[in-house]
Amino acid sequence: MRRKPKEDVKQKILDTAEMLFAQRGFDATGIELIAKTAGITKSLIYYYFDSKDAILSQLFQDFITESIKIKKYITENTIADNSQYHVEQILKDHTLPFLMSHKDIIKIAFTESVKEAPVTPHLNIFQYFDQNFQANFELVDRYGIQYNQDFANLNGFFLFWAPLFSFVIFSDEWCEYYHCDLKSITDLFIAEYAKMYKLLISPGAASAIPGKTQEPPKKE
């Protein structure tokens, strides 16, 4: 079903702002430039959004919402039903395509989050990670593994999400600098990332990782 004209205008504002924020930076992009690039008036932007911050907040919240949806889809259709769906295939078919299609907002989130200025509530890369990663804990019980949540969050961010986001942000530039083919590099990254992921979630790794414990074996 096609969006209504008002929805189209609002989405055009969001799409234009996202592109400009990613290219020029949030601080260097004003409402006037967004309006000019989108081919609309400033007053029309203010009809939908109170400020530039409100636009950014909407962009980031939409990203979080979509991320949780894709996480739920992957869980329900590949992992939760105990299907033989490999980690590599999940990355190739779902995770990376989704993140690549949201490269601009990921870049904006990282750029804005590392500024020295106080982080605004609506833009915090840890907020995204926290809301998204909580879905993973639903799977933990299925495998009978108990986690120290503080350690699991640390592990999940620096060893799972940070590498993924880094690849999304820098892969094009990496290929340009090193004269590589993006598809080949993507396939290599998926293979190596999957190896690390499997190693970290394997039952044998539980005893070797501080804060991660398994239920004691039942007595015969």
Cα angle value 25/165/178 (rounded, 5°): 85
pLDDT on residue 179? 96
Confidence of residue 177 (pLDDT cuts 50, 70, 90): very high
Using DSSP, state whether 166 is helix, strand or coil.
helix
**Res 4 pLDDT > 60:** no
Lowest-confidence range among 7-21, 91-105, 136-150, 202-216?
202-216
**Res 145 pLDDT > 70:** no
Which among 57, 39, 161, 42 has a CA at the least distance from the CA of 108? 57
Q: What are phi and psi of 111, to 5 degrees?
A: -60, -45
- pLDDT (mean) for 73-94: 74
- Length of the chain, please? 220
Lowest-confidence range among 13-17, 86-90, 153-157?
153-157
**Prediction pTM value:** 0.77
Half-sphere exposure of 170 (CA within 13 A, CB side): 12
